[in-house]
Structure 1
Amino acid sequence: MAAFAPVSTLEGDARFDVYIARPEGTPKAAIIVIQEIFGVNEGIRRKCDNWAKAGYLALAPDLFWRIEPHIELDADVPEQLQQAFGLFGQFDQDLGIQDIEATIKAARAELGDGGKVGLTGYCLGGRLAFMSACRTDGDAFVGYYGVGIDGLLGEQHAIGKPVMLHIPTADGFVSAEVQQKMHEGLKDNRHVTLHDYEGLDHGFAAEMGNRRNEEAAQLADRRTADFFAAHL
């Protein structure tokens, strides 16, 4: 069973919608799926549905709600891609992290005492997953082709839980220089594991559309599933 449901902000002064997919029976744990710049679209909802089929409570917060609630865009449509870039420029990432923390809180409330929460994000969501590892009380974190992580390396001292990053080496939005800075900057952090995907571009693990590379997406998703099975 899956549907949008309201969640209160940390301050309790507003509510925003979260797509929630529930498994049959008692969840193993919860996984928060953090959107790309295209909103909680069908691809993100499918990722939640897949985690629910695997036995997890899955939640995808609508992080653009302060700009435009329930925005859904398609990366393969040029006009919508440009619209997504515009939304990214308006998005307050610090408030987004607070909304992710509120979603973690809601997930823990549903799981009950001792329930663990993992986070996985894509593109903007990959960046936010790394930020969440530095700033929230989640239990395990995965980022796919996160953007601008080189500018966040100064926060990595706050990471105390396992983190895994999937890095396509031909990412049009994350240059080879930035990738090198990520590898160099994180190589001594025992909590962080990096996986490179040679010759692949940004968005290779999208659930649907032209960006997806089936073989690499399945490999990355297996690594993510094994990672969460070990740490949640």
Structure 2
Amino acid sequence: MGIHIEISAKDGSGTFNGYLAIPAVGKGPGLILLQEIFGVNSTMRQIADYYAEEGYVVLVPDLFWRQEANVELGYDHESWQKAFGFFQGFDQDKGIEDIDAALSVLRQREEFTSGAGVLGFCLGARMAYLAACRCDVDAAIGYYGMGIENHLDEADNIRGRLVLHFAGDDEFCPIAARNDIHAALEARDNVELYTYPGVEHAFARLGSEHYHKPSALVAHERSVAVLRKTIGPHYNLSYLWDKHCEYEFDTRNVDDTMATMVAEPYVNHIPTLTGGVGYKDLYRFYKHHFVDSNPADTTLIPISRTIGDTQIVDEMLFCFTHDREIDWLLPGIAPTGKHVEIPFVAVVKFRGDKLYHEHIYWDQASVLVQIGVLDPTGLPVAGRETAAKLLDETLPSNELMPTWPSSADKD
């Protein structure tokens, strides 16, 4: 996705490279992405492309250029040794000057709209903190930074918003350092500090032996939420999701449905493990097993919608007559002609203005009871009653609990 550009040092000592990734729409707020100690390698370029999908014009400056231009290391033992050598020889004050130069170049790009943030990992996290203190940035975000505790005397200079993500078991930022950082920063209204228990340094780097997907996902959501609030871009996620559902259930057009999604999306219907990962499999799923497999009377009745900065959580009733085999919902079960009403929850994640994934939840036991293939006698399951009570909360509760009557006279 990206290209390489030249950045002129502010002290006149030369030029250095930066990797530039631009969103598909061709413009957006600016984001300076700051490297780990391994240079501007494939990992950093992939992260830049990822944030470009989120809607940002991303520039990754080569911070080691004063020692050696275009450092690009892997994660084997020899690369680690070289990386620590560059880290030990790094002049962070000059590094901040180079970040400031990159910010200037970014703001002059025609793709840049307004607002600029910095985001860094490892060494880059410390530099993001220092950029928040010394540069004109609207937001600064750091993942598992090292040495921030040595620069807390600069915190009064922070003008934008600062977010720091810490690994609970990070040997490079131990608990004593985190305690100092919390003591100095946590009371500030423009600072957010998060610690992820039980994870280690590099928990957000895909492919790392310490990669922890749940923590990485939560941290990313928090990071993008701060960027959205401070520099944008702002999307009407509700409208985008409604159009996606329109193409799925009303016009039943697979190509239009896929056009609302990122290049490599995925869908996971949790109870039946149906859906698809990646464009090819998801297109196949939609075309042959979903869009035209839904009964003609399929109806979605909205109950509630929660809209975040990066995702929507939709609560609804899914209603249909089982007049055909429904591969994704009732795979392998012949039509029964029964009418079904079930509560649905959809967790819909976006990247920029495109859907990235859908996690869809429902009570499969309730479906099986309603079509008559599961006898609920003696089992803690219900049929259409689950949908009815969602619409009318005054309907009886606790009728599946044999012990409920025994507590009537208890305090």
TM-score range, shorter-chain basis? over 0.9
1:72 counterpart residue number: 72
**Offset of 1:25 from its aligned partner?**
2.0
User: Any residues of structure 2 matched to 1:48-197 within 5 Å, and which?
Assistant: 48-75=48-75, 77-111=76-110, 115-197=114-196
CA contact (8 A) 1:46 1:207 kept: no
Query: What is the TM-score of this pair, normalised by structure 2?
Result: 0.55
Name the aligned partner's letter for residue 180 of structure 2.
Answer: K
SS of the aligned residue for 1:80 comes to helix
2:368 counterpart residue number: none
**Offset of 1:74 from its aligned partner?**
1.9
2:221 counterpart residue number: 222
**Offset of 1:114 from its aligned partner?**
6.3
Which structure has the larger Rg? 2
SS of the aligned residue for 1:217 comes to helix
CA contact (8 A) 1:172 1:202 kept: yes
- 2:12 is the counterpart of 1:15: no
Question: Once superposed, what is the RMSD of the aligned Cα atoms?
Answer: 1.4
**Offset of 1:91 from its aligned partner?**
0.6
Name the aligned partner's letter for residue 205 of structure 1.
Answer: A
Query: What is the TM-score of this pair, normalised by structure 1?
Result: 0.95
Identity %: 36
More deviation, 207-216/192-201: 207-216
2:264 counterpart residue number: none
1:29 counterpart residue number: 29
CA contact (8 A) 1:20 1:57 kept: yes
Name the aligned partner's letter for residue 144 of structure 1.
Answer: Y
Q: Following the alignment from structure 2 to structure 1, what is the Cα–Cα distance between the partners of residues 115 and 158?
A: 16
Q: Following the alignment from structure 1 to structure 2, what is the Cα–Cα distance between the partners of residues 90 and 216?
A: 32
1:39 counterpart residue number: 39
Q: Following the alignment from structure 1 to structure 2, what is the Cα–Cα distance between the partners of residues 48 and 152?
A: 27
CA displacement, residues 136-183 of structure 1 (integer Å, 9 cap, x when unaligned): 001110000110111111000100110000011100111111111111
Change (3 A) 1:4 1:114: closer
More deviation, 197-206/25-34: 25-34
More deviation, 207-216/40-49: 207-216
CA displacement, residues 52-82 of structure 1 (integer Å, 9 cap, x when unaligned): 112210110000011111111123x112111
CA displacement, residues 175-214 of structure 1 (integer Å, 9 cap, x when unaligned): 1111111111112222111011001111101133323211
Name the aligned partner's letter for residue 174 of structure 1.
Answer: C
Change (3 A) 1:212 1:111: farther
**Offset of 1:112 from its aligned partner?**
7.4
Q: Following the alignment from structure 1 to structure 2, what is the Cα–Cα distance between the partners of residues 225 and 111?
A: 23
Q: Following the alignment from structure 1 to structure 2, what is the Cα–Cα distance between the partners of residues 141 and 134?
A: 9
2:200 counterpart residue number: 201
Q: Following the alignment from structure 1 to structure 2, what is the Cα–Cα distance between the partners of residues 55 and 114?
A: 11
Unpaired segments of 5 or more residues in structure 1?
none
SS of the aligned residue for 1:29 comes to strand
CA contact (8 A) 1:203 1:212 kept: yes
CA contact (8 A) 2:133 2:157 kept: yes
**Offset of 1:127 from its aligned partner?**
0.3
Change (3 A) 1:113 1:49: closer
State the number of aligned residues: 231
Name the aligned partner's letter for residue 213 of structure 1.
Answer: H
